Structure 1
Amino acid sequence: MITLIVLFVLFMICISMIWNWSQTSELSGIPAVKPRWPLFGNALFFDLTKTHIVLTELAQKYGPVFRIKLYGDEIVVLNDYKSIYSALVANGNEVAGRPSMYRTEHADRNRNSIVWQTYTPKLKMLRKEVHKSLRMFGDGLNSLEDKCFPEVEALIARIRDTDGHPFDPWDYIYDTTCNVMLLLLLGVRFSYTGDELTQLKEISRLFNHTFGSGSGSRLDVIPWLHILRNQDFSVLKSALKLRNSFWEDRIKDLPIKNDSVVADLLRLTENPGIDVTETTVKETFTNLILAGTDTTATAMTCLLLILIHRPEVQDRLQAELDTVVGQKRKPCLADRAVMPYFEACVLELLRYISHVPLAVPHSTISDTYIEEHKIPADTTIYINLWAMHHDASFWNDPWVFQPERFLDEHGCILPPQHEFRRRVMAFGAGRRVCLGEVLAKNRLFLFVSAILQNFSFEAADIQSIPDMDPRTYSLGLVLHPGRFKLKAKRRDR
C-alpha cells in the first residue's frame, strides 16, 4: 500500500512538471518568482495568511506583472493600475473567466454560482436577472431606503440600550446589514434574538476560511487530500452541510415576497428552456447573502475603528451631517450628493482597507494580451487590488487615512473620471464588476450617517483596541480587523 502511494505521488510530480513546463514556456516573458519546488511551486516560501502583502512585496522585486506557482497552478499576478485596467477593462471579455478549482467544483457549485462560475451564457443571464431584481436604480433606491430605515432604527435602539457601556459593534452591524440583504433577497427578516442570524455568521466564517488565500487552495491541485481527512476539506463540507440545512429548514417554507431576488429566480426554474434549478437559486442566494453582508459589515466596522483612532475625522463628518441634515430628520440617499466629505471618507475607506485585497481569481477565456505580455487561455490571474490601492509611487502616504485626497481645493468631491477615483477599484471593474457596488455604497451611507447623527464613538479601552492599519487585519476572502469594544455617547443629551 505504501509503495502504491509513493508511486502515485511520484507520478503526480512528473505530470505536474510536464504540465508546468508547457505552461511556463508560453509565459516565459513574464518574470517568475524563485525558488520553485516540484508540486509545491512557491507555496512553501509564502505566508499564505498574508498573501496580499507577500505579493505586494514581490512586486517591488519582480515588477508590476510577475508569475508565481502555487502547487500546480501557474498564476499571473497584476499589481498596478495599468496592468489591472488592461485585464479587467481593455481585455475584459478575455479575462472574465474563473479558474478551475476543486473547492468550487465540489457539489457542482461552479455550475450554479454567480461568483465562482466562469463567464458562460448562463452566468450572463444570472447577472442580468439579479441586477434587475436588486433594482438599484430609479424607484428602487426609494425601496432600498424603505428597507434600510427600520433596520437602522433597530440598530440605533440597540446601541442606545448599551447606555454608554462598552460593546462589540460587529454583531450589531452584521445583524443590521444581513437583515437588509434578507429583505432584498427574500422579502423577510430574522429576529435579532433568534438563531438564524447566528447560523448565517457561522456559514460566513466557514466559507471565509475555505475560500480565503490560505491553505485551502491546496485542495484545488491536490483534491485527493480529502481522502486523508484534510482539515480544509472538512471545513468545506461543514460549510456546505450547514448552508444546505439552513436552506431546507429556514428558507424553503418562508413566505417569500414576490418582489424579491429569490422569488424572481425561482420563477425562472419553471421555464424548462432556461438552465436554472433550485440548486442555482440556492447557490446564488448563498453568494449574495454572504458577500453582500460580510463586505459592508466589515467596511462599516473598519470605519468605526478608524474613527475611534482618528476622532477629528468623526468630528468633521458630524459637522457636515449637522449642516446638511440637522437633528430633526433622518439622513436619506438624496443627501449624499451634498455631503462631499462623507463621500470622500467612503472612497478613502475603500482604498485604505482594500477589504477584498485580491478580488476573486480571474482566468483567461482565450489567448489575450495584458499590456505587452501574451497570456494564453486558461491562465489564472490574480488582481492585487491591495498593491494598486497602496502604490506609494502614486498615492502620497498610502498608509495614512486621508479623505481629503478625494476633495478638490474648494472642498468638492473629485469627479468620477479623475485619476484618483478611477484607481479605486474595490468592487472590481469590467465584465465581473461586483453587482452590489451601488447597494454597498448606499447602505454604508445610510448606516453610518444615521449612527453618527445619534452617537459619538470612543474607545472603551485605548490600550486594547486593535491597530487601524489594515496590514494587521486577518485574511479570508475578506480582510477583518481584530474584534474590539467601543462606547457610544448619545448626541441628544
Structure 2
Amino acid sequence: MELSMALEEIFTFSLLAASLLLIFYLVTKSLKNPLRKIPGPPGLPLLGHILSLNPTKIHNQFYEMARKYGAIMKVKIFTKTIVVLNSKEACLEALSKTGTDFQGRPSLKRNQIVLPPNVAFSNFSDKQVMLRRLFTKAMKAYGPGVVHLEKILQETIQCLVDDIDQKEGQAIDSAELSIGYVCCVLASMMFGEKYSYDDELCHRMNRVNSQVIKTTDPFSNGVVFDVIPFLYDFKFLFKKERKKIESAKETFSNFIKTRIEEAKKSFDVNQMRGCLDYLIELQKQENDVDGQPLLDEVGLQGMMANFLIGGLETSRRSLAQMFLDLLHDPTLQKTLQAEIDSQYEPTETITLKDKVKLPRMEAYMLEQMRFLTQVPFMIPHMAVRDAEVAGYKIPAGTVVLMNSYHVAHNPDVFDEPFEVKPERLLDENGKLVDRDHPLRENFLGFGAGRRQCPGESFAKSRIFLFLANILQKYHVEVDGELPDRDVRKYPMSILLTPPSVKVRFTRRQ
C-alpha cells in the first residue's frame, strides 16, 4: 500500500513538474517571439480576435485599428498571428524595398483544391518567377497599342452600343451590363474570337467564376479548412462546405480543360488568335535547364485561371462603381462629356492612344479606383525568411496583409478621403499629376514590386474605352431608387462589391 502511494506521489509530482516546464517553455517562447512587440488590440486566449471581427465589415474595423495603432499592427485568428501594414511607406517597404523577403503566399487549402497552381497564389520560387515571366509575355502580346487588342476592344464596345440601342431606353441592370462587357472582352482576348453578349461561353465564364469566388471566399464557413487544413481529411465534418469545394473544382477544371483542348486541336502557329494560343506556343518553346517544358498542362490551366478570375472580378466592380458615381454626381458626367466633346466629333472613334487627350477622364478613373479599393488587403503575403519591416522583426512564415484600404483613405494624405474628387489628381494646368505624386502613390490597388498585377495596363484600357464610349454616346440616368455609394457600407467578401442600379441610356444629340 505504501509503495503504491509513493508511486502515485511520484507520478503526480512528475506530471506537475512536466506541466510547469511546458508552461515555462511556452511563456519563454512567447517572450522571445518578436511579434509580441508589434502593437494590436487585446485578444482572447486560443481564439484571438475571431469573435470580435465582423467578416462583412472587416475593412472598416481594420481602418479604425490603423488610425489607433499606426503603420503596423497585429491581429490573431485563433493562435495564428497576422501582421497588418497600414501605411504606404510600410507597404512599399515590404513589397519593393526588402527584395523577396515578403514575396511568399500563405497556403490556403480551398484555393489549392479548387484552382490549379497559378502565378497569383503560388508561393515565391524560381518556378513561380519563370511562370510569371511567361504570363507577362503573353499579356504583352496583347498590351495597349497592339492592333489586335484595339480591334477586339472596339468591336466589343460596338456590340455593347448595339445592345443598348436595341433596348430602346429600357432600364438595364448595371451589374449585368458590366459583367457582360468584361466577359466578352476577356473571352475575345483569351480565345481570339468575337463574342456577343448572349453568347453561352460568356455566360458560362461568369457562372464558373462566380462559383469559384463564392467557394473560396475567406469570410465564408469554408475558411475553417484554410485555418485548420487537416480538418479536410475528416470526411464526416463540414459536409456542405466540402461539397461546394468539390463541385467548384470539377466545374472549373472541366471548363478550362475543354477550352485548352479545343484551342490545341485548331492551333495554327501562322494564325495566332488569343492569349491562349500564345501560351500554347510558349509551352512548346520555353524549357527549363533540364530541357523540360516550363509550362506543363497544369501550369497552362493555372495561367488561364489567372486570366479569368483576375480579369473578370476587378473590372466589373470598377464599372459598377462608375455608374453609381455618374448618377450620384450629374456634374461629373457633364464635365467628362464636355472634355470628350472638346476632343472628338460625335462620329469619331475614341482609341487607346488618345487617352492623353482626356486627362480629366483618366484622373476620374484613378480616383474611382482609389475610392473603391475593391481589394482592401490585396492577396495575402508571407515572409519567406526572417525579415524586418517598419522597424519590427518578422519571423519567416508570418502572414502579412497590406491594408491598402487605409492607405487609399488615409485622412492625413487625402482631403475628404471618402469622396470622389478627380480634380485632386490634376495640376494647375489641368494635366494628370505624375505617377510619383503622393496622391497617386497612395493607391496600391494593383500592388507593387515583383508581385504587382501584370494585368494592370489591360484592365485600365478596357475600363477607359467603356467609360469614354458610353459617355460620348449616351446620357446615363437612374431608373428607380439610387443606392448609396458610400464604400464604408459595401459588404466585404473577397472584394468590396458596389450595389447594382437600374440605368437608362438616352442617346446624346
- TM-score, reference length from structure 2: 0.87
Q: What are structure 1's unaligned runs of at least 5 residues?
A: 1-13
Aligned match for 2:38, one of 30, 37, 40? 30
| Residue 65 of structure 2 corresponds to residue 58 of structure 1 | yes
Maintained 8 Å contact 1:219/1:233: no
Q: Which residue of 2 aligns with 1:71?
A: 78
Q: Which residue of 1 aligns with 2:18?
A: none
Q: Which residue of 2 aligns with 1:7?
A: none
Q: Would the alpha carbon gap of residues 52 and 334 (structure 1) be closer, same or farther in structure 2, given more than 3 Å must change?
A: same
How much does 1:427 deviate?
0.4
For the residue of structure 1 that corresponds to 2:83, the secondary structure is: strand
Aligned match for 2:503, one of 469, 478, 486? 486
Once residues 413 and 62 of structure 2 are traced to their aligned partners in structure 1, the CA distance between those partners, rounded to angstroms, is: 18
Match runs of 1:215-254 below 5 Å? 215=220, 216-226=222-232, 227=235, 228-254=237-263
- TM-score, reference length from structure 1: 0.90
Match runs of 1:365-444 below 5 Å? 365-444=384-463
One-letter identity of the residue aligned with 2:101:
E
Q: Which residue of 2 aligns with 1:8?
A: none
Deviation track 1:233-274 (CA, whole Å, cap 9, x = no partner) reads: 433322211111222445522445635332233344445513
Match runs of 1:39-438 below 5 Å? 40-106=47-113, 109=116, 112-135=117-140, 140-215=145-220, 216-226=222-232, 227=235, 228-254=237-263, 255=266, 258-270=272-284, 273-438=292-457
Once residues 19 and 53 of structure 1 are traced to their aligned partners in structure 2, the CA distance between those partners, rounded to angstroms, is: 33
Once residues 335 and 190 of structure 1 are traced to their aligned partners in structure 2, the CA distance between those partners, rounded to angstroms, is: 25
Q: What's the % identity of the aligned pairs?
A: 29
Once residues 72 and 238 of structure 1 are traced to their aligned partners in structure 2, the CA distance between those partners, rounded to angstroms, is: 31
Once residues 405 and 337 of structure 1 are traced to their aligned partners in structure 2, the CA distance between those partners, rounded to angstroms, is: 17
Once residues 108 and 475 of structure 1 are traced to their aligned partners in structure 2, the CA distance between those partners, rounded to angstroms, is: 22
| Residue 466 of structure 2 corresponds to residue 447 of structure 1 | yes
Maintained 8 Å contact 1:133/1:260: no
One-letter identity of the residue aligned with 1:390:
H
Once residues 137 and 420 of structure 1 are traced to their aligned partners in structure 2, the CA distance between those partners, rounded to angstroms, is: 29
For the residue of structure 2 that corresponds to 1:396, the secondary structure is: coil
How much does 1:130 deviate?
1.6
Once residues 77 and 366 of structure 1 are traced to their aligned partners in structure 2, the CA distance between those partners, rounded to angstroms, is: 17
| Residue 489 of structure 2 corresponds to residue 472 of structure 1 | yes
Once residues 59 and 231 of structure 1 are traced to their aligned partners in structure 2, the CA distance between those partners, rounded to angstroms, is: 36
Maintained 8 Å contact 1:212/1:475: no
Deviation track 1:317-342 (CA, whole Å, cap 9, x = no partner) reads: 00000111221211111221121100
How much does 1:388 deviate?
0.5
Maintained 8 Å contact 1:96/1:363: yes
For the residue of structure 2 that corresponds to 1:67, the secondary structure is: strand
Maintained 8 Å contact 2:95/2:450: yes
- For the aligned residue pairs, the C-alpha RMSD in angstroms reads 2.5
One-letter identity of the residue aligned with 2:275:
V
How much does 1:139 deviate?
7.4
Once residues 473 and 119 of structure 1 are traced to their aligned partners in structure 2, the CA distance between those partners, rounded to angstroms, is: 32
Once residues 279 and 231 of structure 2 are traced to their aligned partners in structure 1, the CA distance between those partners, rounded to angstroms, is: 35
Q: Structure 1 runs of 4+ off > 4 angstroms? A: 17-24, 136-140, 268-272
Q: What are structure 2's unaligned runs of at least 5 residues?
A: 1-21
For the residue of structure 2 that corresponds to 1:75, the secondary structure is: strand
How much does 1:120 deviate?
1.2
One-letter identity of the residue aligned with 1:217:
V
Maintained 8 Å contact 2:370/2:408: yes
Deviation track 1:185-225 (CA, whole Å, cap 9, x = no partner) reads: 22234443243222222222222223333134321122344
How much does 1:119 deviate?
1.4
Aligned residues: 473
Once residues 153 and 289 of structure 1 are traced to their aligned partners in structure 2, the CA distance between those partners, rounded to angstroms, is: 22
